[in-house]
Homo-oligomer: A and B are copies of this chain.
Amino acid sequence: MELTIKGGHVDGKIKDIGIEDGRIAQIGGKIGKQGRVIDAKDCAVLHGFENAHTHTGMSLLRGYADDMQLGEWLQTKIWPMEAKLKDKDIELAAELSALEMIKSGTTKFHDMYFHMDSVLKATQKAGIRGVLAYGMVDLDNAEKREKELKEEERFVKHVEKIGDEKIKAAVGPHGPHTCSGELLEKTKALAEKYGLEVHTHAAETRDEVYGLEKKTGKRPIQLLKEKGLLGPKTILAHCVWVTKEEIRTIAASGARVAHCPASNMKLASGGIAPVTEMLEAGVKVLLGTDGAASNNSLDLIAEMKIAALIHKNARWDARLLPAKQALDMITGWTKVEVGAEADLAIVDLKKPHLAPRHNIESNIVYSGKGSDVRTVICGGQVLMDRYKAEAVEEEKIIEKANDWAA
């Protein structure tokens, strides 16, 4: 073994885990110490967390503008600031995001933004898995459309050329309300040509859904379906304003939904995404933090508690979204098992807020914090151990981010 994890709680039992060639090779009562040994006594070994929707290039904007209505926030603060961002700013932002994600147990994220070569560089340095999409918007402008598609394909080829098995390209039509029908069709062709994941916003705000209906006579999910963009490789971010019919359509297609409760609430789009109905219909719901400008945290443990709480409350039923299901939503519904990629978040249970241990999962969901993650492994590579990041220099990144804002 290259790596042995000793004595952690794995699915309710204390077990050792052996890792070889980036995958889990053995799980058993006792494995001899082989290769580097990670002590997981008094720890829970979970599958690494998956952030299904974020914009890592935005983290330098954390706290730059809060407590504002969406329109004003975008027009007077976020867009003008984004216009000034350069490659190196985005790289630093993505480094900061990757560090924050590693420190809170995330081993994979789905990103959509611009200056994506910079996001790629930062992601590679950090050693985390990234599914990266250049976000396209054409607003019905043909010239802009061709430019966007060209940049999308260039980035896809660039990712192919880099050939890092932890980095995948995705296509990123920003959303059915900001992309023309033609752009959506051409995106579909691009996704097919390269066999890529599709990452798009959908039905985040009520205004956006009404606007689209007025313009096209169609609701977002129907339109995406017609354009051939719904399938098992699709991630639909938000889906707050979807009907039961749309939920059935999503379920039938196998598309995944990235539920982003903190961002939705902070921007006050109103309503609560019908996650209970989605889960009942068999939709694979994941959690996304959205970007640090609208959350403002990338901590999936905090996000998971918020998700578990709001749906119970919205439906007056405390049995909904129980701890196990909430945890599944951040571990990508993936088990720690032999043959799986060795992507692990090891949670330190020796904390007052995680005692006593009637139910370890419930403790993590309802009382855990991202900072309880003590060790993170991605594809067999140790990214953090004993709370210390190994692949990147934590203090330096924080200092550079602070200097940037000052």
Chain A interfacial positions (CB closer than 8 Å to B): 60-64, 66-70, 73, 96, 99-100, 103-104, 262, 264-272, 292, 295-299, 302, 305-306, 308-310, 312-313, 315-323, 350-353, 355-360, 362-363, 366-367, 369-372, 394-395, 397-398, 401-402, 404-406
Q: Are A358 and B268 in contact (CB under 8 A)?
A: no
In the complex the two chains form, is A309's CB within 8 Å of B266's CB? yes
In the bound complex, residues from chain B placing their C-beta under 8 Å from that of A302 are 302, 305, 369
Partner of A295, one of B96, B366, B371, B406: B366
Report A128 CB to chain B, min CB distance, Å: 13
A67 pairs with B322, CB closer than 8 A: yes
| The one of B100, B353, B358, B363 that contacts A352, using a Cβ cutoff of 8 Å | B100
Contact A358 B313 (CB under 8 A): no
Across-interface contacts of A103 in B (CB, < 8 A): 351-353
**Contact between chains at B264 and A357 (CB < 8 Å):** no
Q: What chain B residues lie within 8 Å of A268 (beta carbons)? A: 312-313, 315-318, 320
B69 touches A353 (CB 8 A): no
B352 with A394: CB separation less than 8 A:
yes
What B residues does A61 contact at CB under 8 A? 358
In the assembled complex, the Cα of A309 lies from the Cα of B289 at a distance in Å of 14
Listed from nearest, the 5 A-B pairs whose CB atoms lie closest are A356-B405, A67-B322, A265-B309, A265-B313, A268-B318
Asked whether A356 lies within 8 Å of B297 as measured between CB atoms, the reply is no
Assess whether B350 is in contact with A395, with CB atoms less than 8 Å apart: yes
Given known contacts A296-B362, A310-B310, A318 and B62 CB-to-CB distance under 8 angstroms: no
